[in-house]
C-alpha cells in the first residue's frame, strides 16, 4: 500500500514564459500534481492521471520545486506532498487552513502564490470539502478547480463534511464568474479529458446547469460507494501525506 501513491507520470506543459513553467506530475490511478515553476520559486497543484521519475530527478538536480500546493484534503488517494518533501529538501507543503490538515504553510481565500512573473490567486470553493480551494492564474486565463468543478461534473458531497448547496454556490460564484474562455483544469476526469472552459461548463455541465434545488436533489441521491482508499488516505492526508504502515 505505501507504494501505491509513488507511481508518477508527466503531464503536458501548460505555461512557459520568461523562466516560469507550469506542468503536471501525475500518479497512475491517482491525481495530477501540477507544478508551477519560476526563477526562484515554484508551486504545485493536486489533480489526476500518468511518467514522472525523470521529472522528479530534473527537479532534484535543478532545485526548482519549492511549494507543493494542495486544493484540499483528498479521500481517494494520498497526496504526494509528503513523499516529495522527503526527496526535495526545502520544499514546503501548502493547503487551506480550513482543511484542518497539517502543512508547512496554510493559505486562505484571497492569498496569492507567486512564481516568476505569475501568481495563483486562492479562491475558497467549499462544498466537496470545507477546505476546498480553486487556484486562478493572475491573468485569469486558467483555473485549477480541484474536485469542486470537474469536466461535465463535480465532486461528490456525501462525505468529509460536504454540502451540495455550498458547492453549487461556490462554483457559480467563484468559478463561473471567471471569463468564459478561462481554461479549467480539474483534479479528476474519468474519460481521458484534461481541460475544459468556464463557458463550456456554464452551458453544458449537466449538474451545474440545474437550479440549486435540483442540484441538491441530484447530489443527495447519487448513492455512490465510499472511496476505496478513504480510511487510509484521509488520515495520511491530514498529516501532509505521511503514511503510517498498517500494524
> Would you give per-residue pLDDT tens digits along the chain (247 residues)?
333 333 333 333 334 333 444 544 444 444 444 444 444 555 555 444 344 566 666 666 666 678 889 999 988 888 888 888 888 888 899 999 999 999 999 999 999 999 888 899 999 999 999 999 999 999 999 999 999 999 999 999 999 999 999 999 999 999 999 999 999 999 888 788 889 999 999 999 999 999 999 999 999 999 999 888 899 899 988 998 877 655 4
Instruction: Please give the pLDDT value at position 244.
Output: 63
User: How many whole angstroms separate alpha carbon 118 and alpha carbon 116?
Assistant: 5
Instruction: Please give the pLDDT value at position 245.
Output: 55
Tell me the three state secondary structure of residue 140. coil
Q: Which CATH topology does 2-221 take? A: Metallo-beta-lactamase; Chain A (3.60.15)
Q: What contacts 142, CB < 8 A, 6 or more positions away?
A: 14, 15, 136, 182, 183, 184, 185
What DSSP letter does each residue of 94-112 carry, written as one string? EEEGGG----SEEE-TT-E
Tell me the three state secondary structure of residue 222. coil
User: How many whole angstroms separate alpha carbon 139 and alpha carbon 227?
Assistant: 35
User: How many whole angstroms separate alpha carbon 227 and alpha carbon 222?
Assistant: 14
Q: What is the pTM of this model?
A: 0.81
End-to-end C-alpha distance for the chain, whole angstroms: 12
User: How many whole angstroms separate alpha carbon 152 and alpha carbon 203?
Assistant: 10
Instruction: Please give the pLDDT value at position 68.
Output: 87
Count of alpha carbons within 13 angstroms of residue 145, beta-carbon side: 34
Chain position carrying cell 481517494: 76
Q: Is the sign of the CA dihedral 61, 3, 80, 28 positive or negative?
A: positive
Instruction: Please give the pLDDT value at position 85.
Output: 86
User: How many whole angstroms separate alpha carbon 136 and alpha carbon 113?
Assistant: 10
C-alpha closest to that of 32 among 17, 11, 58, 2? 11
Alpha-carbon distance values, 149 to 41, 66, 172, 215 (Å): 27, 27, 10, 13
Instruction: Please give the pLDDT value at position 173.
Output: 99
Instruction: Please give the pLDDT value at position 215.
Output: 99
Chain position carrying cell 504526494: 80
Give the cell for residue 141.
486565463
Amino acid at each position: 500500500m505505501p507504494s501505491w501513491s509513488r507511481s508518477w507520470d508527466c503531464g503536458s506543459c501548460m505555461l512557459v514564459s520568461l523562466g516560469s513553467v507550469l506542468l503536471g506530475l501525475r500518479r497512475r490511478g491517482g491525481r495530477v500534481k501540477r507544478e508551477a515553476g519560476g526563477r526562484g520559486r515554484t508551486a504545485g497543484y493536486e489533480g489526476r492521471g500518468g511518467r514522472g521519475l525523470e521529472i522528479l530527478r530534473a527537479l532534484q538536480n535543478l532545485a526548482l520545486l519549492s511549494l507543493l500546493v494542495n486544493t484540499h484534503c483528498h479521500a481517494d488517494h494520498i497526496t504526494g506532498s509528503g513523499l516529495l518533501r522527503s526527496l526535495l529538501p526545502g520544499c514546503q507543503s501548502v493547503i487551506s487552513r480550513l482543511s484542518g490538515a497539517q502543512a508547512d504553510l496554510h493559505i486562505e481565500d484571497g492569498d496569492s502564490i507567486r512564481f516568476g512573473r505569475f501568481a495563483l490567486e486562492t479562491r475558497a470553493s467549499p462544498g466537496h470539502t470545507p477546505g476546498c480551494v480553486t487556484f486562478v492564474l493572475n491573468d485569469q486565463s486558467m483555473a485549477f478547480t480541484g474536485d469542486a468543478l470537474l469536466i461535465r461534473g463535480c465532486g461528490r458531497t456525501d462525505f468529509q463534511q460536504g454540502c451540495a448547496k455550498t458547492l453549487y454556490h461556490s462554483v457559480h460564484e467563484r468559478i463561473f464568474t471567471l471569463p468564459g474562455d478561462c481554461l479549467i483544469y480539474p483534479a479528476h476526469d474519468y474519460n481521458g479529458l484534461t481541460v475544459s472552459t468556464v463557458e463550456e461548463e456554464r452551458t453544458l455541465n449537466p449538474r451545474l446547469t440545474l437550479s440549486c434545488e435540483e442540484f441538491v436533489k441530484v447530489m443527495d441521491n447519487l448513492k455512490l460507494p465510499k472511496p476505496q482508499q478513504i480510511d487510509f488516505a484521509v488520515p495520511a492526508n491530514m498529516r501532509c501525506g505521511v503514511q503510517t504502515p498498517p500494524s
